[in-house]
Amino acid sequence: MSVEFVYATRLAEYDFGGAHPLRPERFVLTAELADAWGLLAETGVSADGRGEDAASGTSARHALVVAPGTCVEADLLRVHDAAYIAAVRAAGSDPAHWRGGFGIGPGDTPPFPRMHEAAAAVCGATLRAVDDVVAKRCDRAFSPAGGLHHAHRDRAAGFCVYNDLAVAIAKATAERPGLRVAYVDFDAHHGDGVQEAFYARADVLTVSLHESGRYLYPGTGRAIEMGAGAGTGFAVNVPLPPGAGDECYALAFGRVVMPAVRAFAPDVLVAQLGADSHVSDPLAHLQTTVAGQHATARRVVALAEEVCGGRVVATGGGGYDTFSAVPRAWACALAALLGVAPPAAIPESWRALAAEAAGPGAAAPPEATFSEAVLPDAAAWGADPRAETERVIEPLVAVHPLLRE
């Protein structure tokens, strides 16, 4: 069993600035923690993503660090309009004079220098991850900088410029007719851009577990959204109530994700592991823990073993507890892909690195992997999140073509 970690420090150029909630330190610190835990085959993570000893190979306990692939305009055009790509280039070439439009402007997705090149590099990482797994160059792959699931065909949205997931899946299915891809999204926010890209197709299943759009951006992802045309029945949505935590995610995985993916019988499973369902996340209202997110990653791996020979691609996604919860959750996800237990302790060297990156006054990361500064409290939400989750799942199971028993 071989695992790739698709990463290079240049991916951190996808950066909206220090005041923006989406910080590249999330995946940079993930790579550093994975390295400190000894999960990477090389000693150290180099700027080109090749490590210091690319000839050392991998074992079942180590992931090989590989460089992102190349994403050319033809790849982007499978998902995005030419006019939009031209707008991204223009915005990134002169951000100070960008007049706005195409979803690029003050707020969620502001322009920054070389925006096109940085966003295309993230696409290149996920392209490499998907292609290497589908081509059987490795069994599993993780693209931690990826997961930009909100970008649409003609506009940026929700911190996302290009939709790396949709680009990679579209290319894989175009180059390999008949390939079936199951996409499962665990981000707190609905995976609207990926669903939109494949809503009328029968060869890509999209499943999204997310906080209900009644309370959270982007306002989509209702249970009644099930696909259209040839894709009818190949979109599945579980809108979770505020306060939903580890128990609710486990329930939705067992009642919805597993039967849907089994019924679809994919050739590869792609999982977006957004970490913003965490109890300490400032932008959502869910209550999972790092331990719970690790359990979700392990369930993904087990499901892939069952349905598609273990072939799974994982990406990052949302997550705004940048210097603690997110890198711990994603380093644990890499451990799950490797089939090993994450160490119980956080190395002091990494804690110091994260504290320095966070800046003066920030709380220090915990000493233990599964420690939480904020503990879940379901009672704080007024209603019982588990009961509310069951009220979403029961009618969905009763009517969805892939879930009816």
Q: Catalytic residues, which ones?
A: 150
How large is the angle between the packed helices 325-338 and 290-308, nearest 10 degrees? 30
Alpha helices in 18-67, H assignment, sequence order: 25-36
Strand order of the sheet with strand 140-143? 64-66, 3-6, 140-143, 312-315, 268-272, 181-185, 204-211, 235-240
User: Given CA atoms 89, 92, 96, 99 in this order, what sign does their dihedral have?
Assistant: positive
The dihedral sign for the CA sequence 202, 227, 400, 269: positive
Give the pair of three-digit tokens for residue 137. Answer: 């160059």
Is residue 236 left, alpha or beta, with left meaning phi > 0 and alpha meaning psi from -120 to 50?
beta
Residue 74 token pair: 């033809």
Closest CA to 7 of 26, 22, 27, 35: 27
Assign 17 to helix, strand or coil: coil
Helix (H, G, I), strand (E, B) or coil at 218: coil
Task: Show Cβ contacts of residue 358 under 8 Å, excluding neighbours closer than 6 positions.
Answer: 322, 323
Both tokens of residue 404?
Answer: 């009816």
Q: How many Å apart are CA 231 and CA 162, to the nearest integer?
A: 23
DSSP labels, 238-306: EEEPTT-BHHHHHHHIIIIIHHHHHHH--SEEEEE---TTBTT-SS---BB-HHHHHHHHHHHHHHHHH
